[in-house]
Amino acid sequence: NTRRCSPQGLLERGGACVGPSECGCRFISQSEVTYLSPGQTLHDGCRECTCQQGELKCHRNNCQDGAVLSEWSEWSECSPCLPEPNNHTGLFYSLQQRHRLCLNVRTGFLWSGDAPECSGEMTQERLCPDKDVCSDLCVWTPWGEWSPCREPCSGGFR
């Protein structure tokens, strides 16, 4: 808290009168109060605020207004094993996914509505890097004994 304590432009800080260049500032957001030292700068969404002469001076910085894509999430756990399409080989595979979100630049919350900034890919998928994750589902065994001919003496198959 600062308030004027004399006509010479001095401000009160902690019960003493000091020059404005020595006074800090308070930035109050929805969730917390941040104290800034003289000359300290804080970024709040698209605003940049600097503590000057005991007052918080804010201006818009060069960030896009509206929406922005978040960073990619971590890759998910490997999915349950799935059979290969047209599973003639008996092989199985597992996938991982990761996602990103379209966020409101100012609040950091999910963006509601359409945003050209968020027209990119939102989900990625890849094969599980653990090659053994599905190995217990697909185990080749040695060949068994030949079956008897289906039609003995006439060229049958076995």
What pLDDT was estimated at residue 116?
Answer: 80
Nearest Cα neighbor of 34 from 22, 17, 49, 53 is: 49
pLDDT category of residue 1 using cuts at 50, 70 and 90:
very low
Query: pLDDT per residue over 18-43, tens digit each?
Result: 777 778 888 887 677 888 888 888 87
Of the two residues 92 and 63, the one the predictor is more confident about is 92
Query: pLDDT per residue over 71-109, tens digit each?
Result: 999 999 999 988 887 766 677 889 999 999 988 877 778
What distance in Å separates the CA atoms of residue 117 and residue 115, rounded to the nearest whole number?
A: 5
What pLDDT was estimated at residue 98?
Answer: 96
Nearest Cα neighbor of 23 from 72, 65, 74, 57 is: 57
pLDDT averaged over every residue in the chain? 78
What the block records as the tokens of 154 is: 């006439």
What pLDDT was estimated at residue 38?
Answer: 87
Assess contact for 98 and 72: CB atoms under 8 A.
Answer: yes
Give Cβ neighbours of residue 46 (< 8 Å, ≥ 6 apart).
60, 61, 63, 64, 65, 105, 106
Determine the topology of domain 67-135 in CATH. TSP-1 type 1 repeat (2.20.100)
Q: What is the pTM of this model?
A: 0.45
CATH 2.20.100, the chain: domain bounds: 67-135
